[in-house]
Amino acid sequence: MDNNFKNVFTPYKFKSKQIEIANRIVMPPMAIYIPGSKGYVEQRLIDYYEERAKSQPGMIIINATSINLTSARSHPNQTSLADDSFIDGMKKLVDMIHSYGVKTSVQLYHSGRQRYGMIAGGETMSPSGISDPVRKDPTREMKVEEIKILIQQFTDAAVRAKKAGFDGIELHCGHGYLLSGFLSPYQNRRTDEYGGSLFNRTRLVREIIASCRKAIGPEMLIGVRMNGSDYINGGNTLEDTKQIAKILVEHGAEIIHVTAGMAPSGHFTFLPADMPAGCNIYLAEGIKEAVGEDIPVIGAGAVEDIFQAEKILSETNLDFVAIGRPMFADPELLIKAREGRVKEIRPCLRCSKSAGVWPEDMRCTVNAAVGIEKEFAKNLTEIGPSKKLLVIGAGPAGLEAARVAAMKGHNVTLMDEREEIGGKMHLVRVRPDKQKLIDRWMKYYENEIERLNISLRLGEKANIEKVEEISPDLIIIATGGKPLVPRSIKGTDCEGVLFAEDIIAGKVHAGKNIAIIGGSSLGVEIADYLFDEDENRKIVVFEMMHDVLLDISHDAHLSLMDRFIKRDVKFLTSTEVFDIRKEGKGFNLKIKRYNQLDEINGFDTVVLACGVVPENSLGVELAEKFDNVIFVGDSQAPGDFRKAIHDSAKICMKL
C-alpha cells in the first residue's frame, strides 16, 4: 500500500453498531438508472456497481431510490423500493457488493417539486405548493394526512431495504428535494406543525427516522444526506444547518452526509469544473463541529482525486470523504492507489455530463466502458491476430484509439504534426479553472503511451508516402476539426474577423469592444477568457437560439454565467448576424432579431465561435488510395470530448 494514503485506508468502527467500514472512502449516489428498467435492478446496474465494488471503497450508497411510483420519482427509470417486487433485484445487488467486503446503504428519496411530472408520472407535491423556478412543474401543498402516508412509505421502503440485506439507509434531505424542502425556509412556508420554526421544519425528518428505526430495529444504520447550505437567499445557511444536524442526531440520525445547493443553485450541488475543488468541504467541517466526535460525518463536493481525499482526512476532523465522479471515471481508482499505480488512474474532468439522467443512458466522457462494463471487458480479452495500426492525430479521439488498440495487443503508431499531444484539449486548458483537470488528462495519456509501448511520432506530418512506408493494416483518422465559417454571414473574410480558436492559441489578439458570434460554450468561454485578459473590455455575444450555453448542463450554465455578474457583457439571443461590414477601423453588424432587422455598430473586433467542421482532407486523400481508413472524433463529425472518446473506444475495442 502507498503510505501516502494512510488516512484513506484507515478502518472505522461505529460505536453503536456491529459495523466496521474498511476505509474512509464513500462512493455516493450518482443517479445511475437504466433506460426501460422501470426502477428494477437489472444486470447492467449490477455490472456497473461490481466494477466499483472491486475497488473496495468503505461504503457504497446506492442511487436515490424512490419510495413510491407516483409523486416520489424524478424520472421513470429511477431505482425504487416502492413495493416488495423490487426486493429481489436489490438483494442481488447487495449480495454482490458484500462479496467484495464492502458495506452498502440505499438512499431513500422523494423528489418533491424538483421533477418533471409529465415524464415521471404522478402528481407533483411540495411543502408549500410553490413551483420550483428551474423545473417549473405545477405543484400543490401536501396535506397533513398525505405527510402521514409519506412517513409510512419511507418506513415500508426501509423495511424492504432490510430484507434486501442493506447495512443501512440514507434519507435524502438535500438538493432541494422533498425532505430538503421541508427543512428549508426557502421552500417551506407552512404555518402548521411542519413549518415555521427551525425545529418544526425538522419534524417530518424526525418522524421518518423514528418510524424507520421502530420498523427495522437497531442493527441498520440510519444516515441523513443534508445540505450544509442551500446557497439561496432565504434558504438555510451553515449556521442553520448546524442546528438542524444537531436536532436530527438527537432524534436518531447516526451518520451525516453533507452536500449543498438546490435546483436554482445547482452548481453548488453538481460542481462543474468552474467551481473550486472541494469548495463544500468547509460545510461538512462545520457540521462535524456541531454534532461532535461520536457522529461520523461524510464530506462531499468536487473531491477530484485520492490525493485530495487524503489531504482532507489528514487536515480536517471529517470521518469520511465521498468520491463519486472519479470512481465513475475510473472504477479501479482505489486498487491503483493501494498498489502505487496512481499514474494509471484515469482522471475525471468534472464535465457535468455524466451519470444517467433520463432520457439518456448512463455515460462518462472519459470512460466509454460505463454502462457496458461486461461487454467492454469481454471485447478487450478477445484478442485475435496482432495488427499494425496507424493513428493520425493525437487529440482526444486519436489518443483513446491508440490506448484501446494497444490494450488489445495491437502494434500502434500515433502520429501528429504538432510537437505535443492533446489536440483541442489545449483550447480548453487555457481556462484557469480547467487547466489542472486537462493537464491531468493529458498526463494520463502520456503515461499510457509509455506503459502500452505506443510508438509516438510528434512533429511529423502524415502523408501518403509515410503511410506507405509504415504499411498499416488499419489507418485511423483523428485529425479533428477546423472552425466553421457560416455561409449565411457576409463579411467573414474581413481583416479583423478572428476565430476563437486562434485567440486561445495566442495567434491573434482582440481589441476592447468585441462582438462574438456564437453563444455555445465556445463563444461564452472565449468571452470569459477575454475578460480574464482585460476586465475593461465590452463584449456582446450573439446567438441564434433562444438561449446561450445550450450545449452544456444546467449547473455548468449557472456556474459559468455567474462569472459575468460584474462584467460588461450582453447576450443577444434569438439573434442572427447576417452581415459584417468594416467601416474604417471598426465593424458594423447587421442582425435579424425576432424577425426584425437592425444594425449594431462600434466593434473593433469580431470573433467567430460558430463551432467546427471536420478537418479530414488528409483522410479523404488516404481513403481514395487505401481501403482500410476509419474516421473518428471531429474528423468524422463535430462533437464534444465524449463523442471523441466513445467513437474511438467502441471501434478499437472490437478490432
Adjacent-strand bridge partners of 74:
none
Q: Which three cell numbers stand for residue 577?
A: 448576424
Distance (Å, rounded) from C-alpha 223 to C-alpha 172? Answer: 9
CA–CA distances in Å: residue 312 to residues 278, 491, 553, 600, 628:
9, 54, 28, 52, 51
Distance (Å, rounded) from C-alpha 340 to C-alpha 251? Answer: 43
Query: Which stretches within 345-431 are classed as H helix?
Result: 373-381, 396-407, 425-429
Q: Which of the following is catalytic: 177, 194, 231, 444?
A: 177
Distance (Å, rounded) from C-alpha 418 to C-alpha 460? Answer: 7
100: annotated active-site residue: no
Distance (Å, rounded) from C-alpha 21 to C-alpha 58? Answer: 5
Residue 474, SS3?
strand
Q: Which three cell numbers stand for residue 539?
A: 463584449
Distance (Å, rounded) from C-alpha 106 to C-alpha 89? Answer: 13
Q: Is 622 exposed, middle or buried (0-12, 13-18, 19+ CB in 10 A)?
A: buried
Distance (Å, rounded) from C-alpha 419 to C-alpha 440? Answer: 18
Distance (Å, rounded) from C-alpha 43 to C-alpha 55? Answer: 19
Give the contacts of 250 (CB within 8 A, at least 6 positions apart). none
Residue 103, SS3?
strand
Closest CA to 312 of 62, 54, 26: 26
Distance (Å, rounded) from C-alpha 17 to C-alpha 37? Answer: 34
Q: What is the set of active-site residues?
A: 177
